[in-house]
Amino acid sequence: MKALERWISRISLLFASLIVVAMMLQVVIDVAMRKFLGAGFPATADIVGRYYMVAVSFLPLAVTEVGRRHIAATIFTDHLRGRSRKAVQGFGLLLSLGVFGLLFWGTLEEALKQTARGAYIEAGTLSVPTWPSYWILPLSFALMEIVLLLRLTQFFQGTYRDDPHDPLEEVDSSLSEVQ
């Protein structure tokens, strides 16, 4: 299970990083072209908004769960122990699995619809296909579903740990290593 989690994390972060680099290069090239040639790279704003930003925002979604970095409001559950805590954890995992399943299904239907019609935008004289960008969300939600299924498996095997996490402790420990 850990190997699959690591693989999902590495692939997601690799693609998200490459997309950030591609976005930066395209924007820099667009600005340089506007400055020196008087015309920019065609459809930069549309490509950035429809491809890059969506991918950078949603591809790392599963990575945050692998690292257990999602926001958690634990004010009511911190004091629970034993069965009641396990029940809340199990309910949370099942609820998350259901919600992300619905998100996957809805975005998959939209991706199929946009692919079938060959969705595109016109930017000046250029037609830019947008249907591939609709597949970013179902892919992201599918990866999240896989991670949640792994969490649920760990939960039922009794190996799931939901320890309190303080990100400031990580920052402090990283800073002390540097000094």
Q: Which two tokens stand for residue 29?
A: 């090239």
| Residue 33 lies inside a defined structural domain of this protein | yes
**Residue 3 to residues 75, 91, 147, 153, Cα–Cα distance (Å):** 32, 25, 11, 15
**Residue 135 to residues 51, 163, 172, Cα–Cα distance (Å):** 10, 34, 39
Euclidean distance between CA atoms 29 and 18, whole angstroms: 16
For the cut 90, the answer to whether the pLDDT of residue 54 exceeds it is yes
For the cut 60, the answer to whether the pLDDT of residue 79 exceeds it is yes
Percentage of the chain modeled with pLDDT above 70: 91
Q: What is the pLDDT of residue 167?
A: 55
Euclidean distance between CA atoms 71 and 80, whole angstroms: 19
Res. 169 pLDDT band, cuts 50 70 90: low
Res. 80 pLDDT band, cuts 50 70 90: confident
pLDDT tens per residue across span 87-96: 999 999 999 9
Exposed e or buried b for every residue in 134-159, given b needs 16+ CB within 10 A? bbbbbbbbbbbbebbebbbeebeeee
Closest CA to 4 of 69, 90, 91, 63: 63
| Residue 151 lies inside a defined structural domain of this protein | yes
Residue 43 burial class via C-beta count within 10 angstroms: exposed 0-12, middle 13-18, buried 19 and up: buried
Res. 125 pLDDT band, cuts 50 70 90: confident
What range defines the domain where residue 51 resides?
Answer: 2-162
pLDDT tens per residue across span 93-107: 999 999 999 999 999
Q: What is the pLDDT of residue 106?
A: 98
| Residue 176 lies inside a defined structural domain of this protein | no
| Residue 172 lies inside a defined structural domain of this protein | no
Total-model pTM: 0.85
| Residue 142 lies inside a defined structural domain of this protein | yes
| Residue 170 lies inside a defined structural domain of this protein | no
Closest CA to 139 of 27, 41, 60: 60
**CB < 8 Å & 24+ apart, contacts of 80-86:** 85/162
Q: What is the pLDDT of residue 173?
A: 58
Task: Please state the separation of Cα 135 from the chain's center in Å.
Answer: 13
What is the tally of structural domains in the chain? 1
Q: What is the pLDDT of residue 159?
A: 86
Euclidean distance between CA atoms 110 and 103, whole angstroms: 11
